[in-house]
Structure 1
Amino acid sequence: MPIEILIAPAAPSVESAGNFWKYGLPVVSLILGILLKWVLDYAIERRRDAAQRTLRLEQRRDLLKTRRLDAERSNLIAVQAAAVNLLQAGRDLRVARLNAPQPKESWHRALVAPELESEAQRCAAQLLPLSTRLHTPDVAGQVNLFLGEFWKSVGAYSAKESWSLWQGAEAEFAALQRLAGKAIRDLEDERQQLVDAPAQ
């Protein structure tokens, strides 16, 4: 009898332990699973947000770079056109001075139509501000060299001196066109790389 009394109370605790494994463990596992899923979802969402922010930043940076490349290309093309206009205006002015009655003083004082000199000044006035907007220092420096030789030729004392200086101006003009053309090609290649980059 005493043995039965000692053993009998143990039956309910074994039964309650069996109930925990049967009912409690799945509930605890479910709660832990939900918590783990929430933590993983939170971490993944934060990583995704960070990746999207980085992607947006890179896209914005690429867009701004593309705009800068396009603006620089447009400025270089405008510089080429303005230099052509200035060279043509200078040629017209030289021909008019050669055909005009030669003054006793300096050759550049020969009487020509005022609009010829005005056109040369207007073309130079168009070229100078364009060169200040360039981000390509070689081309900007070459514009200054061309303008310097151009005005030396136009203001020469004699027709012979003017012709010698004019050849220098034409050489600087040709160098300007080469440099600007190379810079434009480089910008176009760089822009194409930006366009092709996402596909890689």
Structure 2
Amino acid sequence: MTTTPTLANAERAPDAAALARPYAGALWQGVRRRDAVLPHLPPSVLLHAGPPFASVDAVPAPVRHAAVQAMLFEGLAADAAAAIALLGAGKVTLMPAQDHGVATPLAQVVSGSMPLAVVGDGASVAYAPLIEGPPPALRFGTRDAGARARLETVSAYGLDILDGWLRVHAVAMMPLIAEALAHGDDCHGRTVAANA
């Protein structure tokens, strides 16, 4: 049975090619620390996904856990209790990542020395944190110290090896995304094909 598209369906179904056009030239160009690409942000600012929180008390537990991990990663606090105290006293601030051109997943926060993927098309640039892989990971809001150890490894690899390679061999993002979608990824929750 063939269904004839209605005007209502046509209006709801976006043209994939039209949506992709503005991003056609997007290249993964390198890996840089947040403080290198956003030097106006002090080390006491942590970037999170979503809108601003009304207060420190409104910060969901997973984001709070990731913020504690980030403060420990940065050496801003000696332990979790000190990190929570800094957050409660307003000495460390949580700000929306997207307001600074950073896309960050789930509960993850991005601190000053964390590595960011640098993606641009010559006219604009955006950033996203390199993630540590499966749990324990900051994006899941873990308290497990293993996430920090993995983040240190990912940071070293991203900044010391991957960045240099990408500066010579930038990766076109749209063909990679198209390939991933063709193999069943949604480029959000399922990224098996894209990672491969």
TM over 0.5: no
Q: Which structure is higher in helix share?
A: 1
Q: Which structure is higher in strand share?
A: 2
Normalised to the residue count of structure 1, the TM-score between the two structures is: 0.31
Normalised to the residue count of structure 2, the TM-score between the two structures is: 0.32
